[in-house]
Structure 1
Amino acid sequence: MTPSERPLRLGAFGTSSIAWRRVLPTVTRMPQWDLVAVAGRTAKKAAQFAEHFRCAAEDDAEALLERTDIDAVYVSTPTALHHTWAERALRAGKHVLVEKPIGTTAAEARSLCALAAERRLALRENFMFLHHPQHVRAREMVADGRLGRPASFRAAFCIPPLPHDDIRYDARLGGGALLDVGVYPLRAAALLLGPGLEPAGATLRTRASDGLELSGQVLLVSPSGILAELAFGFEHAYASTYTLWGDRARLTVTRAFTPPPAHQPLLVLEEQDREERLTLPAADQLMLLLEEFAEAVRTGGGSAEPHSESVAMMELVDTIRTTARRVEVR
Structure 2
Amino acid sequence: MEIALIGIGKIAIDQHVPAIQNSPDWNLSATVSRHGTVAGVPAFHDFAQMLEERPDIRVVSLCLPPVPRFDYAAAAIRAGRHVMLEKPPGATLSECHALKAMAQAHRVSLYATWHSRQADKVLAAKAWLAEKALQKLTINWREDVRQWHPGQDWVFEAGGLGVFDPGINALSILTEILPEPVHLTGAQLHFPANREAPIAAECSFHHPRGAEVSMNLDWLEPGAPTWTIQAETDQGIMILENGGDKLTIDGEIDESVSDLTGEYPRLYAQMASLVQRGGIDMDLSPMRHVADAFTLGKRITVEPFEW
Verify: 1:62 aligned to 2:48, yes or no. Answer: yes
Match of 1:315 among 280, 284, 288: 288
1:297 partner amino acid: V
Say if 1:185 and 1:231, in contact at 8 Å, map to a contact too.
no
Residue 294 of structure 1 is matched in structure 2 by 272
Say if 2:115 and 2:169, in contact at 8 Å, map to a contact too.
no
Say if 2:3 and 2:61, in contact at 8 Å, map to a contact too.
yes
Residue 246 of structure 1 is matched in structure 2 by 233
Shift of 1:196: 4.0
Structure 1: distance between partners of 2:129 and 2:159: 39
Say if 1:73 and 1:96, in contact at 8 Å, map to a contact too.
yes
Structure 2: distance between partners of 1:317 and 1:173: 11
Match of 1:101 among 88, 99, 114: 88
Shift of 1:169: 4.1
Match of 1:149 among 125, 129, 133: 133
Distance 1:195 1:111, change over 3 A: farther
Question: Is there any run of 5+ residues in structure 1 with no aligned partner, and where?
Answer: 1-7, 258-264
Shift of 1:59: 2.7
Verify: 1:198 aligned to 2:206, yes or no. Answer: no
Structure 2: distance between partners of 1:141 and 1:171: 39
Residue 256 of structure 2 is matched in structure 1 by 280
Aligned residues: 296
**SS of corresponding position for 1:38:** strand
Question: Is there any run of 5+ residues in structure 2 with no aligned partner, and where?
Answer: none
Among all aligned residue pairs of Structure 1 and Structure 2, give the percentage whose two residues are the same amino acid: 22
Output the aligned Cα RMSD: 2.0
- How does the TM-score come out when normalised to structure 1? 0.83
Residue 200 of structure 2 is matched in structure 1 by 215
Shift of 1:14: 0.8
**SS of corresponding position for 2:199:** strand
1:153 partner amino acid: L
Verify: 1:328 aligned to 2:306, yes or no. Answer: no
Q: Which structure 2 residues correspond to residues 1-330 of structure 1 after superposition, within 5 A?
A: 8-41=1-34, 45-46=35-36, 49-50=37-38, 52=39, 54-66=40-52, 67-143=54-130, 145=131, 148-162=132-146, 165-172=151-158, 174-178=160-164, 180-194=165-179, 196-236=181-221, 237=223, 238-257=225-244, 265-270=245-250, 275-281=251-257, 283-300=261-278, 302=279, 304=280, 306-307=281-282, 309-310=283-284, 312-330=285-303
- How does the TM-score come out when normalised to structure 2? 0.89
Structure 2: distance between partners of 1:170 and 1:161: 10
Report 1 or 2 for greater relative contact order, CA contacts < 8 Å, sequence distance ≥ 6. 2
